[in-house]
Amino acid sequence: MAEDEGGQSTGESGKNEPGKRGASQVVRGPGLRLGRPFGIPLYVSPSWFVVAAFITVLLAPQSGDATDPSNDFGNELGGWRYVLSLAYAVFLYGSVVVHELAHSALAKRLGLPVRRIVIHFLGGVSEIEKESDSPGKAFWIAFVGPLTSAALAGIGFAVYQVIPHEDSVSLGQKVAATLIFGFWASNLLVAIFNMLPGLPLDGGQLLRAAVWKATGRPMAGTVAAAWAGRVLAIAVFIVMNLIYVHDGTIQPFGLGLAVFMAMFIWYGATQALVVAKLRERIPGLSARKMTRRAISVDARIPLAEALRRAHEVNARGIVLVDGNERPTGLVNEAQVIATPEQRRPWVEAGDVAHPLDASLIVTADLMGEELLDVLRANPAPEYLVVETSGEIVGVLAASDVQAAFLGKPPGPPPAPRKMPV
């Protein structure tokens, strides 16, 4: 399942956000890291091991009942049935890994950054950090996953047809045939499930790309595919319950699985809609519009005096300058709030500031994705905003960018520790 930031669910958390520096830039992985195929970090969530154990226990009886005298395969396997079932679970999620790698590799080739791939109990997700800039790219990134799974299923099926798998073959041949059957069946399952036409599945991304192409508006595609996902969730719930009805009674396992799958699809579709609405605001983000008015002070001035001067001119940013009026640091709002008011006359402004380097200087003309790219590459709580000529415009706070992204008005920190600027 490919995950454009604007096309599907919000995906897993952990992105570097403006306002975090130093050790906070080291993002913990969401599980066990398996490697970096194609330069993309690949993780397995701990939840996968729970599902693998569940699949192993659930499917082991399907390999034959060792207590049934008429079941030669089950008698020969004995306890090895569980090993065979575990191998199927590995094949199933191995198919998901290849599926996600297909999404991610093509996305990288088309110039879209891929943060990581995460394999979890529901399957997997490719965290693509930017939305495709055309419906064509969005279509192919989504389609290549199911296409790869279907191709692997076809290869596995062809191999299965030419190897011996009759009841009369040896135990080793039966095991090999069972594993190959599991390989092509799991890939076919991944391909079919992901082609269902609704977000957050790949089929929903294809529908989104088609509507986007027809209307010229990506948001229209997302809305259509998200609502299709909600309808699909209801349909999956009904169909799965019908499958698990026996003698007029719904089996508890079937009911639980139906609820679980329906909730997964419904939630993913809803999140895709939320993220798409957020991303609609990105083009309107402007460094100039969000810049706070700022004053310049010497680093040795008492914090209370610096705040008084800022308050006089209704400024909410404080820039430290040296004797030549060159900016050297930015007063950190969070540290100001954390400083008790009675101590501020004895605390220097430089004690609650962070040094200014070139990575924390942004030009006032930056907008939209370009602005966010700069902030993501250099996370910090505040940035110095300058004209192309180098003239200081003011201070850009990461919190104000987040507020604008969420559609909230920027404002002073909440009481009781209100920054008096």
The letter for the amino acid at 41 is: P
Residues 6+ apart with CB under 8 A from 270: 226, 230
pLDDT at 40 over 90: yes
Average pLDDT over residues 265-289: 89
Which of 127-136, 341-350, 400-409 reaches the highest mean pLDDT?
341-350
The predicted structure's pLDDT at residue 153? 95
0.85 surpassed by pTM: no
Q: Exposed/middle/buried for 283, CB within 10 Å: 0-12, 13-18, 19+? A: exposed
pLDDT of residue 22: 36
**Paired residues of 216 in beta bridges:** none
Q: How many CA atoms lie within 13 A of 366 on its CB side?
A: 23
DSSP three-state, residue 118: strand
Q: What angle do CA 64, 68, 73 make, to 5 degrees?
A: 40
* Across 214-235, average pLDDT: 94
* 3 confidence band (pLDDT: 50, 70, 90): low
Answer yes or no: is pLDDT of 185 > 60. yes
Give the strand pairing for 382-386 and 392-397: antiparallel
- Residue 48 predicted with pLDDT over 90: no
Query: Which pLDDT score, from 0 to 100, does residue 87 have?
Result: 84
Alpha helices (H) in 244-361, listed in sequence order: 252-279, 287-290, 303-312, 333-338
Spell out a b/e string for 315-348, using b for 16 or more CB atoms within 10 Å of the CB, else e. Answer: bbbbbbbeeeeebbbbbbbbebeebeeeebeebb
* CB-based contact 355:328 (threshold 8 Å): yes
Rounded-to-integer distance, Cα 73 and Cα 167, Å = 8
